[in-house]
Amino acid sequence: MPPLADQTPDLLRSTLAELQARYASLQSRGLKLDMTRGKPSPEQLDLSEGLLTLPGNRDHLTEAGEDARNYGGVQGLAEVRALFSGVLGAPPEQIAVGNNSSLALMHDCLVYALLKGVPGGERPWSREPEIRFLCPVPGYDRHFALCETYGLVMEAVPMTPTGPDMAVVEERVRDPRVKGMWCVPQYSNPGGETYADETVERLARMEAGAPDFRLFWDNAYALHHLTERRPNLRNVLEAAAAAGRPDRPIVFASTSKVTLAGAGLAFLAASPENLRWYLGHAGKRSIGPDKLNQLRHVRFLREANALERLMEGHRRLLAPKFKAVTDTLERVLGGSGAARWTTPEGGYFILLEVPDGCATRVVELAAGCGLAMTPAGATHPYGRDPDDRMLRLAPSYPSLAEVEAAAEVIALCTLIAATEARLRA
């Protein structure tokens, strides 16, 4: 097909008619597909089948000889913290283990900051007339939802291939109302970018107007490679300490997409001062996390390279699905100029950029074919993409055949929406 931009109105009309015929044919297949969320597939969860019978009879003692079944231990087991020390880029004593959700740890840090303040701050954030958070866009809707629910004003910062646009960040962070910033530094959700060393270092050392400014460093995809390459992300805790701002970052991660999405372990890593702060509040909230699930994970991952082999298993299941999407997009949309998309080296998403004003229409058309997509706008603060342009594709959960069918639908719907837009132009 010639590029849409080169087609005459007459040709566009006949193109559209042909696309609509293909759409009707797809509709008649009665598909029921869901690409809304970055959920692991059942086959991925099967990789951690061993967890379902662990820790095993009479196996409830920690390395320290404590009973993991009983109360206590707000920081989490030392052996779990040691096991994930490398992933988190922090010594075990600067790590806390939570329950099954790193989002919950981010939420709790936000809440403690709002109600109690953070080290280096003058007062609880909720006492400020206004608080702002920098939000690289496209970004993660659940981060944005936390800001929105607690009334934190979100400021969008454009992403670049090396991370957030640092000129904008360095300018905006001088505003003392800016108290925090969301970062998914590796295989960013949904753009797939990994922050360059220079980006991490500038984030670590930049002059912030608020003395208690925090980077909410959600390293959700630290191990989630889709290729043989390893990005070697700069350690933000070390960069911040070297820049004399050790308390700036709070690092979050989890095994939700390593072991079990709903029954994994969440982690927080931070400076000694931040960790004391976090544990002080977490210890008021609860007597401690589920240590038996921690023991279960230690037993399951105890063999050398167990983590690496597990992630290799995920890659083998995920990479073909990502390839199916990008191959299909290329086959249907290639040369049309109707869209561009990412070919991520890790993480859980493909970002599809359609012509301005078309994203909502693509989602609507896809729904008409039985495909549920992440709503247009979900990638932006307040659910509003001002250009109505970005779509997050989540190919992990459906089967490979379903992903292929879904990609076909998405590509076709994109082409239809783009053709309609050209005709209106």
Binding region for a copy of itself (CB under 8 A): 37, 39-40, 42, 45, 48-49, 52-60, 67-73, 99-101, 103-104, 107-108, 111, 114-116, 126, 142, 145-146, 149-150, 256, 260-263, 281, 284-293
Between 288 and 337, CB nearer to a copy of itself: 288
Quote the strand ranges of 184-265, DSSP E. Answer: 214-218, 249-254
Cα gap 241→231, rounded to integer Å? 22
Closest by CA position to 73, among listed 290, 224, 351: 290
CB closer to a copy of itself out of 77 and 413: 77
- Shortest Cβ 292–a copy of itself spacing (Å): 4
Distance CA(327)–CA(395), nearest Å, equals 13
Nearer to a copy of itself among residue 101 and residue 160 (C-beta)? 101
- Round to whole Å and give the CA distance between 358 and 348: 23
Specify the residue, 46 or 364, whose C-beta has the smaller distance to a copy of itself: 46
The least CB distance from residue 250 to a copy of itself, in Å, is: 16
Backbone angles phi, psi at 116, to 5 degrees: -125, -15
In terms of Cα–Cα distance, which of 385, 381, 332, 378 is closest to 358? Answer: 385
Is the backbone of residue 88 left (phi > 0), alpha (psi -120 to 50) or beta?
Answer: alpha
Toward a copy of itself, which CB reaches closer, 146 or 369?
146
Angle subtended at Cα 221 by Cα 220 and Cα 227, rounded to the nearest 5 degrees = 175
- In 90-235, which ranges are continuous DSSP H helix? 102-116, 141-149, 166-172, 197-205
Distances (CA, A) of 393 to 83, 104, 326, 396, 406: 32, 24, 11, 9, 10
Closer to a copy of itself by Cβ: residue 107 or 323: 107
Nearest-approach distance from CB 319 to a copy of itself, in angstroms: 20
Does residue 396 contact residue 10 with C-beta atoms inside 8 Å? no
State in angstroms the smallest separation of the CB of 51 from a copy of itself. Answer: 8
Shortest Cβ 10–a copy of itself spacing (Å): 49
* Residue whose CB is less far from a copy of itself, 47 or 83: 47
Residue 108 φ then ψ, to 5°: -65, -40
> Quick check: 349 and 221 in contact, CB under 8 A?
no
Which residue lies nearer to a copy of itself by CB, 291 or 315?
291
User: Which residue, 117 or 163, has its beta carbon nearer to a copy of itself?
Assistant: 117
Strand partners, 353: 340, 390
Separation between Cα atoms, residue 313 and residue 257, nearest integer Å? 12
Q: Label residue 285 exposed, middle or buried (CB < 10 Å: 0-12, 13-18, 19+).
A: exposed
